[in-house]
Amino acid sequence: MKPRTLLVKPPDPFLQAEFVYQQLAPHYLESWLAAHGYPATLVVMYIAPDALGRRSEPRTLADCHMIVVEDGAVVTDGPFDSAIFDDIDLLALSVMTPQAEYAGWLTAAARKARPGIKVMMGGSHARYYLDQVVALTGDEACDYVVPHDGWQPLLDMLEAGLPDGPRSRILSHQHDLKLITMAPTRPLELMARYSYEIAGLPAFHTVTALGCPFTCHFCEAGGERTRFFPREMIDADLAAMAAAHRALGRDKFAVMFFDDVGLLNPRQTRDLAARVAAHGYSAWRAFTHAYLVVRHGQKLLGPFAETGGRRVGIGIETGSQRSLDLINKRNGKAQSVEEHYEAVRIANRLGIAVDAFTMIYPWENERDLAATTALIEFVIDNPVVGEDHLGRPLRNSVDSTIMLPYQGTRFNALLQAGQVPGVSLKSEARQRELFYKGVDASSGWVYDETVLPRERYLEVQAYRNSLRPDYR
């Protein structure tokens, strides 16, 4: 009999809401296993809200809930039960850093319930915090650790009969994405749980590529080679999402591309727009960059707008030229704050609302803060041509966070080396206890010293976020 895999998405109490976006990796891996004839069960874990709608941090697995999906149907939705490990040969965990603690609990529980089970961990936590994953000991240590693409390592270990060996074996592989033609699974009963809207229409999300060509110094993923999925896969995926929308009784629906750069150049945008239209979507959202909008204008955003592109996400980061230069988004190439203003004007004239992502940096003084606040006020006030599908005027939106220099980022190294005047970090050990340990998708405060007091940054952040319109 072929070994059976349990693909698990751990819970996300870190997020304000858990059923907004699917965590796609387990779904890609599930369809890959099916194509290779290996049986798998999928488990989506979550924290159930209390009577007042609040979710609290779980203390043990008993505080978690799970949705169990087999052959595309939900077979259980209820409290966590370690009976899910019965008949399982491989526990395959997909882990982002905020989920790492729960992954450890799951590994230990699986070993207790089923001695001899093998555990494999993949996802962005294994990629960016590999040293910490490999250092796990006792029952929480994994057998196989996959820091990059999961498709081949998973298949290799299953075909080899889940070989024994020392714990924490690193299996690193980068797939030629042209060979990945199976779209992620979209189990209907699960899709019905996700709730997200674009321009007044229900939306699902996907990605068309992995990696990012940019080099923001605050980002863990900066500079990873960009690899595109083949058109065959994008078509299959758009068709599957459209079928799910229709099966849920929706005649108009939307899609969001979560790629770091969804609209990269006019040709790629034209091709993607044609696919979106061909599959019957009425609205879509994607991400792009200010300098690309300024450089290509109508050529980049025209095909997007004409096929229902109603919102574009742009990391405009800051209105302070000094901070923008320090971020180094374009690997040494200049980017100007004026381009941020211009990109918003261009998009808005074409009937596209901008979701502008900005940050506050720990070296910023009152002048820097005022410059970004002025940019944000401009974004919020700038009129957008057109209406959404509920007849409401399209409105720009903003998001303000405080930059935290995660482990492995260039800013972490620069701050650690004391190269930014007025800013210092807590010890490395203390930082590890604070990153991704917070509520409402924020981390703890990793700074010992910042140019202005934390309270001032929080006050400015609260003001900026208060400017958001009440719909998007």
- Positions in the binding site for ligand SF4 (CB under 6 A): 212, 214-216, 219, 221-222, 260, 315, 329
Residue nearest to ligand SF4 (CB): 219
* Partner whose footprint covers residue 14, from ligand B12, ligand SF4, none (CB < 5 to 8 Å by kind): ligand B12
| Sign (positive or negative) of CA dihedral 73, 8, 27, 195 | positive
What 3-state DSSP class applies to 6? strand
Round to whole Å and give the CA distance between 330 and 291.
Answer: 10
Taking the complex as a whole, how short is the minimal distance between the CB of residue 216 and ligand B12, in angstroms? 9
CA-to-CA dists, residue 151 to 97, 134, 157, 172, 175, angstroms: 20, 20, 11, 11, 8
Q: Where is 169: in which H helix or E strand?
A: strand 169-170
* Partner whose footprint covers residue 262, from ligand SF4, ligand B12, none (CB < 5 to 8 Å by kind): none
- Closest of 264, 127, 244 to residue 184, by C-alpha: 244
Q: Which is nearer to ligand B12, 96 or 403 (CB)?
A: 96
CA-to-CA dists, residue 227 to 159, 207, 276, 467, angstroms: 26, 11, 20, 37
The Cα angle at residue 261 between residues 318 and 381, in degrees rounded to 5: 40
120 is a site residue for ligand B12 (CB under 6 A): yes
Q: Where is 138: in which H helix or E strand?
A: none
With CB under 6 A as the contact rule, which of the stretches 90-98, 249-257, 345-353, 372-380 interacts with ligand B12?
A: 90-98
Name, in order, each residue with C-beta under 8 angstroms of 407's C-beta and a sequence gap of 6 or more.
128, 129, 220, 431, 432, 435
12 is a site residue for ligand B12 (CB under 6 A): yes
Q: Which is nearer to ligand SF4, 207 or 219 (CB)?
A: 219
- Could you say which of 83, 278, 374, 441 contacts ligand B12 (CB under 6 A)? 441
In the block, residue with structure tokens 């004391």 = 418
Taking the complex as a whole, how short is the minimal distance between the CB of residue 226 and ligand SF4, in angstroms? 9
**Phi and psi for 110 in degrees, rounded to 5?**
-65, -40
**Phi and psi for 196 in degrees, rounded to 5?**
-155, 145
99 is a site residue for ligand B12 (CB under 6 A): yes
What 3-state DSSP class applies to 424? strand
* Partner whose footprint covers residue 122, from ligand B12, ligand SF4, none (CB < 5 to 8 Å by kind): ligand B12
> Please, is 62 exposed, middle or buried when counting C-beta atoms within 10 Å of its C-beta (0-12, 13-18, 19+)?
exposed
Q: Which is nearer to ligand SF4, 111 or 410 (CB)?
A: 410
* Partner whose footprint covers residue 149, from ligand B12, ligand SF4, none (CB < 5 to 8 Å by kind): ligand B12
* Partner whose footprint covers residue 310, from ligand B12, ligand SF4, none (CB < 5 to 8 Å by kind): none
- Could you say which of 55, 111, 118, 125 contacts ligand B12 (CB under 6 A)? 125
124 is a site residue for ligand B12 (CB under 6 A): yes
What 3-state DSSP class applies to 76? strand
239 is a site residue for ligand B12 (CB under 6 A): no
Round to whole Å and give the CA distance between 200 and 468.
Answer: 16
Round to whole Å and give the CA distance between 175 and 378.
Answer: 43
Footprint (CB under 6 A) of ligand B12, residues 287-346: none
Structural tokens at position 177: 């994405």
* Partner whose footprint covers residue 216, from ligand SF4, ligand B12, none (CB < 5 to 8 Å by kind): ligand SF4
Residue nearest to ligand B12 (CB): 122
* Partner whose footprint covers residue 214, from ligand B12, ligand SF4, none (CB < 5 to 8 Å by kind): ligand SF4
CA-to-CA dists, residue 231 to 177, 181, 236, 331, 368, angstroms: 11, 8, 8, 29, 43
Residues 18-37: x where in contact with ligand B12 by CB under 6 A, - otherwise, as a string? ---x-xxx--x---------
With CB under 6 A as the contact rule, which of the stretches 142-150, 276-284, 358-366, 452-460 interacts with ligand B12?
A: 142-150
Q: Which is nearer to ligand SF4, 58 or 98 (CB)?
A: 98
| Interface ranges with ligand B12 (CB under 6 A) | 12, 14-15, 21, 23-25, 28, 92-94, 96-99, 120, 122-125, 127-128, 146, 149-150, 153-154, 207, 210, 219-221, 258, 260, 441
